[in-house]
């Protein structure tokens, strides 16, 4: 699961940073293109320095990419049935630690995947406010493209990502299985404590 999750979040950042061929008439893709332009400017300005400046890298991801994700919706879907049992305070702590986990574990994808590109496929519209943005990663080293689907919805006129599927496998569902196992062993507070420790370990690497 962790290997899948690592690639999934890497791919998320790749899409939002190095996308090509987007359709101009798609609101969801317009969001991706705007983010692309902003992040590429920063990467050109700061380049390889980001590799040795993790706080700056984390800040870049947090400020320019993660606002396009609905972490409350993702967290509710990740916890599944356990969300109902969590207190409001536990929910807020989980949302924050889940976000921190993703930032600190996968933000290095910004500088590690600079040679990959993304192609957009026809979107699937589920409703006027919810679509699946279908893409494929073209690897610089060759090999078959990797299909990635981003589920997004419109929130107050803004498009937000709430799930990602790699080769048809959902990131949310994979985390749900892993987190549910930990909750069954140690409860929601135990899971949150594990996420806090994981983030601290990544910070100290």
Tens of pLDDT along 116-129? 677 778 888 898 88
Residue 193 lies in a domain: no
pLDDT of residue 108: 61
pTM of the model: 0.78
Residue 85 lies in a domain: no
Q: Give Dmax over CA atoms of the chain in angstroms.
A: 48
H helices of the chain, where? 2-18, 27-46, 49-52, 54-64, 71-79, 82-85, 88-106, 109-112, 171-204
Residue 191 lies in a domain: no
pLDDT of residue 21: 45
Residue 205 lies in a domain: no
Output the domain CATH number for residue 107: 3.10.450.710
Three-state DSSP state, 190 = helix
User: Which tokens sit at 126?
Assistant: 């589920």
CA angle centred on 63, ends 61 and 68, rounded to 5°? 80
Per the CB < 8 A criterion, the answer to whether 148 and 169 are in contact is no
Give the span between the Cα atoms of 140 and 180, in whole angstroms: 36
Residue 17 lies in a domain: yes
pLDDT of residue 24: 42
- Which residue segment(s) compose the domain that 124 sits in? 2-76+95-175
**Contacting residues for 67 by C-beta, under 8 A, at least 6 apart:** none
pLDDT of residue 110: 61
Q: How many domains does the chain have?
A: 1
pLDDT of residue 68: 85
Per the CB < 8 A criterion, the answer to whether 188 and 86 are in contact is yes
Q: Which contiguous run of DSSP H or E holds residue 170?
A: strand 169-170
pLDDT of residue 83: 97
Q: What's the DSSP call for residue 19?
A: B
Per the CB < 8 A criterion, the answer to whether 183 and 82 are in contact is yes
Q: Which residues of the chain have a pLDDT value below 70?
A: 1-26, 32-33, 36-37, 39-40, 47, 105-116, 203-205
Residue 11 lies in a domain: yes
Give the span between the Cα atoms of 118 and 96, in whole angstroms: 29
């Amino acid at each position: 699961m962790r290997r899948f999750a690592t690639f999934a979040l890497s791919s998320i950042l790749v899409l939002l940073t190095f996308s090509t061929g987007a359709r101009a008439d798609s609101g969801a893709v317009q969001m991706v293109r705007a983010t692309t332009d902003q992040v590429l400017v920063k990467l050109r300005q700061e380049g390889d320095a980001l590799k040795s400046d993790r706080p700056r890298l984390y800040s870049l991801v947090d400020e320019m990419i993660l606002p396009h994700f609905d972490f409350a919706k993702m967290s509710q879907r990740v916890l599944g049935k356990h969300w109902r049992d969590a207190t409001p305070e536990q929910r807020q702590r989980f949302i924050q630690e889940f976000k921190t986990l993703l930032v600190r574990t996968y933000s290095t994808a910004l500088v590690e995947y600079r040679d990959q590109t993304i192609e957009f496929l026809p979107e699937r519209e589920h409703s006027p406010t919810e679509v699946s943005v279908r893409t494929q990663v073209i690897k610089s080293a060759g090999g078959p493209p990797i299909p990635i689907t981003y589920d997004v919805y419109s929130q107050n006129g803004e498009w937000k990502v709430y799930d990602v599927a790699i080769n048809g496998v959902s990131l949310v569902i994979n985390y749900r299985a892993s987190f549910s196992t930990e909750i069954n062993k140690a409860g929601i507070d135990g899971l949150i404590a594990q996420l806090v420790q994981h983030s601290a370990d990544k910070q100290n690497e």
